[in-house]
Chains A and B, each alone.
Chain A
Amino acid sequence: MPAVKETVETVRKIDVDQYKYGFVTDIESELAPKGLDEDTVRFISAKKNEPAWLLEWRLEAFRRWQTMQEPTWARVRYPEIDFQDLHYYAAPKKTPGPKSLDEVDPELLKTYEKLGIPLREREILAGVEGAKVAVDAVFDSVSVVTTFKEELAKAGVIFCAISEAVHTHPELVKQYLGTVVPTTDNFYATLNSAVFSDGSFVYIPPGVKCPMELSTYFRINEQKTGQFERTLIIADKGSYVSYLEGCTAPKRDEAQLHAAVVELVALDDAEIKYSTVQNWYPGDKDGKGGIYNFVTKRGDCRGQRSKISWTQVETGSAITWKYPSCILRGEGSSGEFYSIAISNGYQQVDSGTKMIHLGKNTTSKILAKGIAAGRSDNTYRGQVTAHRKATGARNFTNCDSLLIGDLCGAHTIPYIESKNSSAVFEHEATTSKIAEDQLFYCMQRGLDEEEAVALIVNGFVKEVLQQLPMEFAVEAQKLIAVSLEGSVG
């Protein structure tokens, strides 16, 4: 039967092209023994040479976690996770901690080179002239290198691995860690609090505009490991920082767990712009393998007129469960959420945001675009609430979904709760297919179907892409093209 053979070939072609970051770095790692108990927590803490208070903090979270149940409300299905069958710590042997670039294992440098992440400070991101980006590279459970540290230090900016910050700036870590996402927050956040291994720490002093983009690149390499990173960003009064996050993982047959926690704190007049390009391994065409991405991201606009803006491009992961949120506590503070979530194959996305209006005259804006193709399910779940004291709160939400093919699903579940009469909330959402006339129009002008779809989709998501820092927008455009391959024709 020729048709079948042809299909098989086509599919095989897509298989190879679809995920280009699926290679494995051959590097010797030190692993924590499989399983999770108090000793695992102690092991990780000891590896990081942590102070006693942090170990106690972890253990408390772990004890709490043992009493919690996995949440089931999200629109995702997956086989039960055996939390005892995972390594909770994996580190490349030759690079036990973030050191200078010369000490980093060349094998690791090669990996990041292959991923297009510039770790040498003279290098710049492909395609963009003159842009300087400081990178914290996290490989499995450890941060391997942080670039431009000296230059940032001149401006007073602290940018380092969180495991390092615990030692160099314990007062800041102690003051802010767990104040936005408490250890008791939810199942995965509590687990993360118990076993988090590394992540980035950023502190921008008062009145400082961070001189360059900061970025963390997460890479999972080892088999059967869970990655639990923790990021803490503090923007002191009147400061500004733009932070980018990228992530990839090798192709493997078993699903892997990634449960991160990100905490942002913005004090008076500070602004944090947090952008994510999430490109974890999405699993193969039969839905085998891939990363389970259970992430808790939350920003606290603690100060007056502070601003937190989340931008995310989600194309990877077998399962995405994340709701970057803003607590709008300070008077006149504002939150923004821009998201494009693209699902293909058997991917399941349940993502959205929470805007919690607590303070007076707080504003928020949500712009979410979901594209579902293949056999995927793409859910937007968002919550906007105004509490009694949130006089003059204002929200605008727009979420659109696009379906490609008739085997996928797109869902929208917004929760809009107002307890203050002067709060004004607007929500609108639509779901549609790429219009035949738009496709026809493009194809009549000489574009083939795939190009025409890409053009229309790019138009559809443009509003979100405009929010991304320039160098990431270029990358994101490429990602969208990758993700749509195989959906058309």
Chain B
Amino acid sequence: MANPVVIMRNPAETAFIERFAAEKASLPGAAQARAEAFARFEARGLPSKRIESYHYTDVRNLMRSVAPAAKDAVAGETLKLEGFARHGFSNGRWQGGDSSAGVTVQPLADAYREGLTPGLGMGQASDVVVDLNTAFARDGVVIRIAAGRHAKLHLAFSENVGAAASILPRVIVEVGEGASLMLVATHEGTDGIAYQVNEVVELRLGRQAKVEHIRLNLSGDKAMVLSSVAATLGEEAELQTMQVSLGGEVCRHQVFVTYQGENAKAAIRGATMLKGNQHHDSTLVVDHAVPHGESRELFRTVVDGSAHGVFQGKIIVRPHAQKTDGQMASNALLLSDDAGMSNKPELEIFADDVVCAHGATCGSLDENQLFYLQARGLPRRIAEALLVEAFLGEVIDTVSEESLREMLAGLVSDWMQARAIS
């Protein structure tokens, strides 16, 4: 009785298939990884809401066409960060940058031609969005931090497009034993143009390496941004990764953390502000594959207008990953009647000597707190702003660099102020 399987492709899927056939020969290096990743995409298509991990973000439905690859453009004015070695990227392409001791930066294409393989050790490598990046990425860089060295890098991505275009950069960061890195990636883009970003950052942390990674999403207001962070942690490594998100129309930020060495720690955080018709999805998969790992997840989402926020977190504890300590929290504030939030904090546990907890809350601003502030003479809008700033502040305050912290806090209060005016 089984019906013959007819694969219905949407126009975007067809376009990807045609594009791969056309570009295949000219894509730099990593031919096998590209072919395998593309084969997985071809077999599965773009993820729809029927795929559990894409339940709330139906990429297949949202992505009806594929924009042509973005042309090189002159990098626009981007944020400047004091005390960071700056590397500019124009539509994903590296424009060169400041040199710093113990740090080597190489164009992705060169590293691939030398035999570097993308996606090594990535727990959930079979994610279709990551696969698409793996298959098509030409632009990006490979950054290596020598053992024991310390570096502060600012990757300033300028998404400067005149018409619909697609940008698929990949950044691979290898942090040597005992080295430490503060990596800030800012993404600023053109408003009013429906461009597509599919970006992957791979963080490979060696033994006792420390990384503080911050992604700032200020992409254009019509952009579709799919960003993924895939991290592997060596023994006693410490990772902090955070996304502060304001931009884009449809965004999905995915974080995959895989514990490869014991006693490693990871903190994954997010502060998301949504208004208008924005849709933002934060999806995490934290894979405790070895014992004695610690993970902390804190996501705060503020939703205004008729925007929709999504949090999907999954902590996996493998059968032998005893003494794992995982804690996950997602809190959301809905500021308007039409705002929506979907939370799915999952635990998948196969070891018996672990402590894992997750919490999720969703609600509006507390009337009592607002009343308290209003009773002290603050107008309602300012009282609201104060509470929202405090709410997101719990995430932003964990940034170790003071100037950066202030800059991010400033973005929150600007966002609230713009809300008060509109």
Chain B residues with CB below 8 A from A73, complex form: 52
Q: A406 with B362: in contact, given A411-B347, A418-B334 (CB under 8 Å)?
A: no
Interface flag for B244 (CB, 8 Å): no
Interface flag for B406 (CB, 8 Å): no
Interface flag for A424 (CB, 8 Å): yes
Cβ contacts A to B, 19 pairs, < 8 Å: A388-B338, A403-B352, A407-B319, A409-B349, A413-B344, A414-B360, A415-B344, A416-B343, A417-B342, A418-B342, A420-B334, A421-B334, A421-B364, A423-B334, A425-B343, A427-B358, A429-B347, A429-B359, A432-B355
Cβ-defined contact, B347 with A418, below 8 A? no
Interface flag for B339 (CB, 8 Å): yes
Cβ-defined contact, A422 with B364, below 8 A? yes
Q: Name the distance in Å between B98's Cβ and chain A's nearest Cβ.
A: 45
Cβ-defined contact, A401 with B349, below 8 A? yes
Residue of B nearest to A400 (CB): B357
Q: Name the distance in Å between A2's Cβ and chain B's nearest Cβ.
A: 28
Interface of B is mostly: strand
Cβ-defined contact, B347 with A428, below 8 A? no
Please measure, in the bound complex, the distance between the C-alpha atom of A407 and the C-alpha atom of B318, giving whole angstroms. 11
Residue of B nearest to A75 (CB): B348
Please measure, in the bound complex, the distance between the C-alpha atom of A88 and the C-alpha atom of B319, giving whole angstroms. 41
Cβ-defined contact, B348 with A429, below 8 A? no
Cβ-defined contact, B355 with A430, below 8 A? yes
Residue of B nearest to A422 (CB): B364
Cβ-defined contact, B349 with A425, below 8 A? no
- Sample of 11 further A-B pairs with CB below 8 A, known A388-B338, A414-B360, A433-B353: A403-B352, A406-B352, A411-B346, A415-B343, A417-B341, A418-B362, A420-B337, A423-B363, A426-B360, A427-B345, A428-B358
Interface flag for B33 (CB, 8 Å): no
Interface flag for B350 (CB, 8 Å): yes
Contact of B359 among A388, A404, A419, A428 (CB under 8 A): A428
Interface flag for B336 (CB, 8 Å): yes
Question: Which B residues have a C-beta under 8 Å from some C-beta of A?
Answer: 52, 319-320, 322, 332, 334-364
Max chain B Cβ within 10 angstroms of own Cβ: one of A405, A419, A433: A419
Cβ-defined contact, A403 with B342, below 8 A? no
Q: A418 with B341: in contact, given A411-B349, A412-B358, A423-B362 (CB under 8 Å)?
A: yes
Interface residues on A, range: 20 to 34
Max chain A Cβ within 10 angstroms of own Cβ: one of B336, B355, B363: B363
Cβ-defined contact, B340 with A418, below 8 A? yes
Please measure, in the bound complex, the distance between the C-alpha atom of A433 and the C-alpha atom of B320, giving whole angstroms. 14
Q: Name the distance in Å between A405's Cβ and chain B's nearest Cβ.
A: 6
Chain B residues with CB below 8 A from A431, complex form: 347, 349, 354-357
Please measure, in the bound complex, the distance between the C-alpha atom of A403 and the C-alpha atom of B317, giving whole angstroms. 12
Please measure, in the bound complex, the distance between the C-alpha atom of A406 and the C-alpha atom of B362, giving whole angstroms. 34
Please measure, in the bound complex, the distance between the C-alpha atom of A405 and the C-alpha atom of B352, giving whole angstroms. 6
Contact of B362 among A408, A409, A412, A424 (CB under 8 A): A424
Interface flag for A410 (CB, 8 Å): yes
Max chain B Cβ within 10 angstroms of own Cβ: one of A404, A409, A417: A417
6 nearest interchain CB pairs? A421-B334, A403-B352, A424-B363, A416-B343, A412-B347, A427-B360
Residue of B nearest to A425 (CB): B362
Cβ-defined contact, A410 with B347, below 8 A? yes
Cβ-defined contact, B357 with A428, below 8 A? yes
Please measure, in the bound complex, the distance between the C-alpha atom of A404 and the C-alpha atom of B353, giving whole angstroms. 9
Q: A421 with B336: in contact, given A412-B358, A416-B362 (CB under 8 Å)?
A: yes
Chain B residues with CB below 8 A from A405, complex form: 352
Residue of B nearest to A412 (CB): B347
Chain A residues with CB below 8 A from B356, complex form: 430-432
Max chain A Cβ within 10 angstroms of own Cβ: one of B332, B353, B362: B362
Cβ-defined contact, B362 with A411, below 8 A? no
Q: Which of A369-399 contact B (CB under 8 A)?
A: 388
Q: Name the distance in Å between B139's Cβ and chain A's nearest Cβ.
A: 37
Max chain A Cβ within 10 angstroms of own Cβ: one of B336, B338, B348: B348
Contact of B348 among A409, A420, A425, A426 (CB under 8 A): A409
Residue of A nearest to B320 (CB): A406
Chain A residues with CB below 8 A from B346, complex form: 411-414
Q: A409 with B360: in contact, given A414-B344, A415-B342, A418-B340 (CB under 8 Å)?
A: no
Cβ-defined contact, A404 with B352, below 8 A? yes
Chain A residues with CB below 8 A from B335, complex form: 421
Please measure, in the bound complex, the distance between the C-alpha atom of A401 and the C-alpha atom of B349, giving whole angstroms. 10
Q: Name the distance in Å between A415's Cβ and chain B's nearest Cβ.
A: 5
Residue of A nearest to B365 (CB): A421
Residue of B nearest to A383 (CB): B344
Residue of A nearest to B361 (CB): A426
Contact of B345 among A414, A420, A423 (CB under 8 A): A414
Binary interface encoding of chain A residues 417-460 relative to chain B, with 1 for a CB under 8 A from any of its CBs, else 0? 11111111111111111000000000000000000000000000
Cβ-defined contact, B351 with A406, below 8 A? yes
Cβ-defined contact, A419 with B343, below 8 A? no
Please measure, in the bound complex, the distance between the C-alpha atom of A422 and the C-alpha atom of B322, giving whole angstroms. 40
Cβ-defined contact, B345 with A433, below 8 A? no
Max chain A Cβ within 10 angstroms of own Cβ: one of B336, B338, B360: B360
Max chain B Cβ within 10 angstroms of own Cβ: one of A73, A401, A421: A421
Please measure, in the bound complex, the distance between the C-alpha atom of A429 and the C-alpha atom of B329, giving whole angstroms. 10
Contact of A416 among B320, B336, B338, B360 (CB under 8 A): B360
Chain B residues with CB below 8 A from A413, complex form: 344, 346-347
Please measure, in the bound complex, the distance between the C-alpha atom of A254 and the C-alpha atom of B352, giving whole angstroms. 31
Contact of A417 among B320, B336, B340 (CB under 8 A): B340
Cβ-defined contact, B352 with A427, below 8 A? no
Q: A427 with B361: in contact, given A406-B319, A411-B347, A416-B343 (CB under 8 Å)?
A: yes
Please measure, in the bound complex, the distance between the C-alpha atom of A415 and the C-alpha atom of B350, giving whole angstroms. 21
Residue of A nearest to B50 (CB): A73
Chain B residues with CB below 8 A from A419, complex form: 339-340
Residue of B nearest to A428 (CB): B359
Q: Name the distance in Å between A69's Cβ and chain B's nearest Cβ.
A: 10
Chain A residues with CB below 8 A from B347, complex form: 401, 410-413, 429, 431
Please measure, in the bound complex, the distance between the C-alpha atom of A425 and the C-alpha atom of B340, giving whole angstroms. 12
Q: Name the distance in Å between A409's Cβ and chain B's nearest Cβ.
A: 4
Contact of B337 among A409, A414, A421 (CB under 8 A): A421
Cβ-defined contact, B349 with A410, below 8 A? yes
Please measure, in the bound complex, the distance between the C-alpha atom of A63 and the C-alpha atom of B360, giving whole angstroms. 42
Q: Name the distance in Å between B107's Cβ and chain A's nearest Cβ.
A: 42
Chain A residues with CB below 8 A from B358, complex form: 412, 427-429
Chain A residues with CB below 8 A from B334, complex form: 418, 420-421, 423
Residue of A nearest to B366 (CB): A424
Cβ-defined contact, A429 with B362, below 8 A? no
Please measure, in the bound complex, the distance between the C-alpha atom of A428 and the C-alpha atom of B343, giving whole angstroms. 12
Cβ-defined contact, B354 with A433, below 8 A? yes
Please measure, in the bound complex, the distance between the C-alpha atom of A426 and the C-alpha atom of B345, giving whole angstroms. 12
Contact of B352 among A408, A425, A429, A430 (CB under 8 A): A408
Please measure, in the bound complex, the distance between the C-alpha atom of A410 and the C-alpha atom of B355, giving whole angstroms. 12
Q: Name the distance in Å between A301's Cβ and chain B's nearest Cβ.
A: 21
Please measure, in the bound complex, the distance between the C-alpha atom of A148 and the C-alpha atom of B125, giving whole angstroms. 62
Please measure, in the bound complex, the distance between the C-alpha atom of A419 and the C-alpha atom of B342, giving whole angstroms. 8
Residue of B nearest to A377 (CB): B350
Please measure, in the bound complex, the distance between the C-alpha atom of A257 and the C-alpha atom of B195, giving whole angstroms. 52
Contact of A429 among B52, B357, B361 (CB under 8 A): B357
Chain B residues with CB below 8 A from A432, complex form: 354-356
Chain A residues with CB below 8 A from B352, complex form: 403-406, 408, 433
